[in-house]
Amino acid sequence: MATTAHEIAWQHDVDAAFDEAKRTNRPLLIDFTAAPN
């Protein structure tokens, strides 16, 4: 999905994100929220 400059491409699968983090050598930032979608 294309995003604008002001959107973050949030992922929702933590384990898949860890795989990407290892592959790209970047840290994970996990935002825990209770805000309505």
Q: Considering the rule CB under 8 A, would residue 30 count as an interface residue with another protein?
A: yes
Q: Considering the rule CB under 8 A, would residue 2 count as an interface residue with another protein?
A: no
In whole angstroms, give the CA distance from residue 24 to residue 37: 28
Q: Considering the rule CB under 8 A, would residue 7 count as an interface residue with another protein?
A: yes
In whole angstroms, give the CA distance from residue 4 to residue 19: 25
Q: Considering the rule CB under 8 A, would residue 1 count as an interface residue with another protein?
A: no
- CA torsion sign, 30 to 8 to 14 to 20? negative
Q: Considering the rule CB under 8 A, would residue 12 count as an interface residue with another protein?
A: yes
Residues that bind another protein (CB under 8 A): 5-14, 17-18, 20-22, 24-35, 37
